[in-house]
């Protein structure tokens, strides 16, 4: 029986969770599910161009696990591009370091911690805020993870 999967660390929720080819109706497309940790592996290695060792440290996993995760993610992204399927970012055993908030009044995106305070938009002052981590089923678990890390460790990350 395999070991239980360790929670991986994702910097913050992605801005978008679904991608599809232009001009094709969504209901006719087969989906490819990219987990949040696979998304983070692509972001760290391909977008930020970090070495595998550094990226693995940021996700709090081994370098070999990071490499396997990245290979799976790249295969899925390639299938999305070549086959014209819908790519959905969802789920996975993760904790977010920071959260993204979207103001529903003006559309501003801003970063937030998991300190429990109700945020207000830094641009328009509205309290009509969408919690992006909550859309992935996170928030309370990530707040708890931050408390377990300790305030000084959480502030550094």
**Domains defined for the chain, CATH in brackets:** 8-94 (1.10.10), 98-150 (2.20.28)
**Model pLDDT, residue 144:** 58
Contact 124, 105 (CB under 8 A): yes
pLDDT of residue 152: 41
Q: Sheet harboring 129-131: ordered strands across?
A: 109-112, 99-103, 129-131
Q: For the whole model, what pTM was predicted?
A: 0.80
pLDDT tens series, the chain, 157 aa:
777 777 889 988 998 899 999 988 888 789 999 999 999 999 999 999 999 999 999 999 999 999 999 999 999 999 999 999 999 999 888 888 888 889 999 999 988 877 667 788 999 999 898 888 887 776 556 655 554 554 444 444 4
pLDDT of residue 52: 97
DSSP secondary structure letters along 114-138: SSSPPP--TTT----EEETTGGGT-
């Amino acid at each position: 029986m395999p070991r239980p999967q360790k929670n991986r660390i994702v910097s913050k929720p992605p801005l978008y969770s679904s991608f599809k080819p232009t001009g094709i109706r969504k209901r006719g497309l087969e989906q490819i599910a990219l987990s949040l940790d696979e998304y983070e592996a692509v972001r760290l290695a391909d977008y930020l161009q970090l070495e595998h060792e550094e990226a693995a440290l940021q996700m709090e996993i081994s370098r070999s696990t990071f490499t396997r995760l990245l290979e799976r993610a790249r295969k899925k992204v390639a299938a999305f591009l070549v086959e014209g399927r819908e790519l959905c970012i969802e789920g996975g055993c993760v904790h977010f370091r920071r959260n993204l908030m979207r103001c529903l009044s003006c559309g501003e995106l801003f970063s937030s911690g998991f300190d429990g305070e109700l945020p207000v938009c830094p641009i328009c002052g509205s309290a009509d805020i969408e919690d992006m981590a909550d859309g992935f089923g996170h928030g309370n678990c990530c707040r708890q993870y931050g408390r377990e890390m300790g305030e000084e460790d959480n502030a550094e990350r």
